[in-house]
Amino acid sequence: MADRRQDETNTAHNEAMKRQQAEHRAKMREKKQTERGLLMINTGDGKGKSTAGFGTVIRALGWGHKVGIVQFVKGAWKTGEKEFFTRYPNLVDMYVMGDGFTWDTQDRAQDIASAEKAWAQSRTMMESGVYDFILLDELNIVLRYDYLDVAEVLAGLEARSDRTSVMVTGRNAPEALVVVADMVSEIKAVRHPFENGIKAKQGIDY
């Protein structure tokens, strides 16, 4: 009789513990969800996707956050942002795809190799656990050209450190990326000076 009561007490105890454990796990999941860095996408045909990315870089730096930038664009072009971070090299870790190469050749194989190198760099930074914010500027563009495999990019973003928020920019964000992102902003073009024959302006467009 005493044994049976003992068994019942044990079973009740075990069940209570299981319930407690399940509650604890759910809480941890919730916590992890809310404390995890965000995946954000700036897409659409309007101007301001990269600009918003660099605005967020400044905001993060203001709080002393550790910031990384990878630009999936041809590195031979001079841009204000590259000039700025070259002048202040300690502010961020910046990597420009194909920097140091000549981009006059229309070499697809070379473009793919450069995109892969830039992506490998992005993955290393995302997994390192040292960055609070990483801007992957124009990643959508190389995905659009099929220079990188979307599934591989999704896996890399998913494998990022919990502390790291990532912002991906570029037109035509692939649907597979859009569905998993925490934030998706689509910038709509209402008017662009280019339509009126106004050329790209230094300090505004590049």
In this complex, which beta carbon is closest to ligand ATP, that of residue 116 or of residue 186?
Answer: 186
Q: Which partner in Mg ion, ligand ATP, none is near 101 (CB below 5 to 8 A by kind)?
A: none
Strand 39-43 relative to strand 93-96, pairing? unpaired
Note whether 194 binds ligand ATP by CB under 6 A.
yes
3-state secondary structure of 33: helix
Q: Which residue is nearest to Mg ion (CB)?
A: 50
When binding is defined by CB under 5 A, the residue of 42, 50, 140, 165 that contacts Mg ion is 50
Q: Which of 46, 53, 81, 38 is CA-nearest to residue 172?
A: 46
174/188 Cα distance (integer angstroms)? 17
Note whether 42 binds Mg ion by CB under 5 A.
no
Among the listed ranges 2-10, 39-47, 147-155, 174-182, the one in contact with ligand ATP (CB under 6 A) is 39-47
**Footprint of ligand ATP on this chain (CB under 6 A)?**
45-51, 169, 171, 189, 192, 194, 200, 205-206
**Footprint of Mg ion on this chain (CB under 5 A)?**
49-50
